[in-house]
Amino acid sequence: MVVVTGASGHVGGNLVRALLDQGRRVRVVVRDDARAVEGLDVERVQADVLDPDSLKAAFDGAEVVFHLAALILITGGQKGRVNRINVEGPRNVAAACLDRKVRRLVHFSSIHAYSPTPRNVPVDETRPFVGEDAPAYDRSKALGQQEVLAAVSRGLDAVIVNPTAVIGPHDYKPSRMGAVQRMLYRRKMPSLVSGGFDWVDVRDVVAGALAAERNGRTGQNYLLSGHWASFPEFAALVGKVTGIRVPSLVVPLWLAYVGAPFVQAFAGLTGGMPLYTLEALHALKCYGEVSHEKASRELGYSPRPLEETLRDTWEWWRRHDPGLGRDDPGGPAGG
C-alpha cells in the first residue's frame, strides 16, 4: 500500500496516476477539492497533517508514504499558518511513519528551501538553507526538510526531493503557475516582468520521486530541476505552441517591485489573488541555474524540453476548457 498526502494537488494528481499505472494500491489523503483524483481507483481517507492521530490512521498498513501536502503561498506567513502546515506537518508525518513502521517516506520539499546566492554558481544539494531574512514560504520549506532529517536520525528511512517551478498537465485547481498560463492563454496578462526561473515538467518530477523511492539514499535529497528561462522567453514559448498572441511589453523588475504593494492591496480589496507579490519577484530575481546532476547520476533523472512541456500542457487545457483559443479574447492571434 502506498499513501499519498496532498493527492488533490497538481503534483499529487500526477503521482497518483503514475502509481496506478505501476499497478500499485494507492490510498490518498484528501480534504475538500478532490478533482485531481476523481474517478481513479484509489482508497480515499480524510486526515490533517496537524492531527497526528489522523495521520497514524491514514498510514496504517502503508509500506511507502509520499508526503506532498503543503501550503504554497506568495503572500507572507498568513499569521503562522504557513509554518504550521509546512513545518509541523512534516514533523507529524515523519513521526506517524515511525509509529506505523512505514518502510520509506518520500518527502517533497522545494528549491526554495535553499539559498539562491551566489547566483552565478548553480544551486546544488551542497547549498546552505535559506536564512531568517528569506520569505516565509522559503523558510518553512527549509525547516520542514530539517524536521524530516531529524526523524532520519531517529531511524526513519526517508528521502527528500526538491522540485523547481512545476508546470504540466492534470492541473485541475489550477496551481499558481497553471493560473498564470491560463492568463496568457486568455490574454488577461497586460505585460510581462523580466527575471526568470527554472521550470520543470510535473511528469518529470513524478518520475524523479518514484526513482528516489526506489534508489534514493536514506537521508539524501535530490534537486529535480528542468530548464531555466526568463519569463518573457517562457511566454514566447507559450505563444509559439498555442498560436496565441502574448504580451510584448516587459516591465523591469525594479518597476515591478515598486508596484507590488499596490497590486497586492488591490487584490485584497477585490478578494482575488495578486498577479504578483514581492515574494514572487524575489524568486524571479534571485534564482539562477539549478543543477540536477546528482539526481541524474543516482536516479537516472532526465527532464524533457520546456517546449514539449508547454505544448502538452496547452493540449491538456484545451481538452478540459474547450473555450480556450476559440471565441474568447484569449483566442489565437488573428482568429
Domain count of the chain? 1
DSSP assignments along 195-213, one per residue = -EEEEEEHHHHHHHHHHHH
In sequence order, what are the residues at sequence separation of 6 or more whose Cβ sits closer than 8 angstroms to the Cβ of residue 135?
Answer: 74, 76, 112, 278, 279, 282
* Residue 178 resides in a domain: no
* Structural contact between residues 4 and 16, judged by C-beta atoms closer than 8 angstroms: yes
* Residue 119 resides in a domain: yes
* Residue 317 resides in a domain: no
Q: What is the pLDDT of residue 173?
A: 86
CATH of the domain at 30: 3.40.50.720
Question: How crowded is residue 245: how many other Cβ atoms within 10 Å of its Cβ?
Answer: 15
* Residue 239 resides in a domain: no
* Structural contact between residues 12 and 6, judged by C-beta atoms closer than 8 angstroms: yes
* Structural contact between residues 26 and 206, judged by C-beta atoms closer than 8 angstroms: no
Q: What is the pLDDT of residue 254?
A: 38
In the DSSP assignment, the letter for residue 333 is T
* Residue 42 resides in a domain: yes
Q: What is the pLDDT of residue 90?
A: 97
Q: What is the pLDDT of residue 278?
A: 46
The CA distance from 206 to 211, in Å, is: 9
Residues of the chain with pLDDT under 70: 72-80, 252-286, 325-335
Q: What is the pLDDT of residue 250?
A: 82
Rounded to 5 degrees, what are φ and ψ at 29? -100, 115
Longest dimension (CA), the chain: 62
* Structural contact between residues 30 and 16, judged by C-beta atoms closer than 8 angstroms: no
DSSP assignments along 286-308, one per residue = H---B--HHHHHHH---PPPHHH
Which domain range does residue 39 map to? 2-167+200-227+289-303
* Residue 265 resides in a domain: no
* Residue 252 resides in a domain: no
Q: What is the pLDDT of residue 334?
A: 28
Q: What is the pLDDT of residue 73?
A: 60
Side-chain-facing half-sphere of 57: CA atoms under 13 Å: 11
Rounded to 5 degrees, what are φ and ψ at 179? -65, -40
Q: Are strands 227-230 and 196-201 parallel, antiparallel or unpaired?
A: antiparallel
* Residue 242 resides in a domain: no
